[in-house]
Amino acid sequence: MRRFIADVAAFCALLTLLALALDRASVLKLRRMRLDASVTTVIAGDSHTETALDDRAIPGAVNISRPAEHLLFTFEKLQLVLPRNPGVRTVVLGLGFHNFSAFFERFGRRRAVVRLSYQDAFPTLDAEARWFLLLHDPAGLLLWAGAIVRSEAAGLLHAERYADYGFWGHPYRSEGSDLSDTAVAGEIALHFYRGRDRLQAFASREGPYLDRIVRLCAERRVRLVLINTPLNPRYAERVPPPFVRRYDDALRPIRAAGVALLDYHALALPDDWYGDGDHLNAHGAASFSRMVAADLARLP
């Protein structure tokens, strides 16, 4: 029995060493990657910027947004990209009322976030971020360990550019539209409520990671532009006022420090531009992105 236990322990130790070696090789390869020299603007954020901003309509832009992306992971991606790509002069960061809901921090219970943070984004994470995930969801980290290994192996063997990695977002170009009361109410409930009438708590880590992004861009002398993308009135009128106030309070000192905000949440747009209450579809994104390109060009 002792021999069997020793053999199992040795086998587990070998697997662990192989996984660590794979992780190190994957990280080293990733840090040698560079963007195309034509890229001067990086668009980052969650599904709001993923769906609203078509980088083909914004000169020199690349959209790396991912669904349900917490600012922790956005910061880690920008911390990877900005120091190694001095040609990037602008970061457009999506930030909406929903970002300040604790809905965004239920890491272990939200499959989209778990998939992003554990499988796709793990190679980008520094030691602090990995430790944070281990403390907040050790069971999830163990559950996705195999997916992490497979993702890193695929990147090591096949990736030739950032866009070949799972953490690198791509514009979402759906033509669909659903502004039904059921769909809009479902999104509001998901973002801002726990149960029928109980509001979500405020996010505790979005603010600190927003501050880190602000500092990172300042250190790299990269212009940071915050963008609150359009919300259909059916959605906007249901956003609980405490989250609007939280948003305003969080942005007040950042804007006072000179960070620009393009706030389009109340912009009047045709209903057929929306995929749902808080996302644009491909038709809407194409036209809206041209507006944003013009507004970016006018910023100092």
Look at phi and psi of residue 28 and say left if phi exceeds 0, alpha if psi is from -120 to 50, else beta: alpha
The predicted pLDDT at position 159 comes to 82
Joined together, the tokens standing for residue 86 give 């001095």
Confidence band for 18, pLDDT divided at 50, 70 and 90: low
**CA 34 → CA 30, 89, 220, 262, 275, distances in Å?**
9, 15, 16, 28, 33
pLDDT above 70 covers a percentage of the chain that reads: 88
Q: Given a cut of 50, is residue 112 above it in pLDDT? A: no
Q: 80 by DSSP, 3-state: which?
A: helix
The predicted pLDDT at position 106 comes to 65
Q: Where is average pLDDT lowest: 174-178, 209-213, 289-293?
A: 174-178
Q: What's the first-to-final CA gap in the chain, in angstroms?
A: 72
In which element (H, E) is residue 41 found? Answer: strand 41-44
Q: Per-residue pLDDT tens for 196-221? A: 789 999 988 888 999 999 999 999 99
pTM: 0.89
What's the whole-number average pLDDT of the chain?
A: 86
Q: Which domains does the chain have, with CATH numbers?
A: 39-126+166-298 (3.40.50.1110)
Rg of the chain (C-alpha set): 20
Separation CA 215–CA 166 (nearest Å): 26
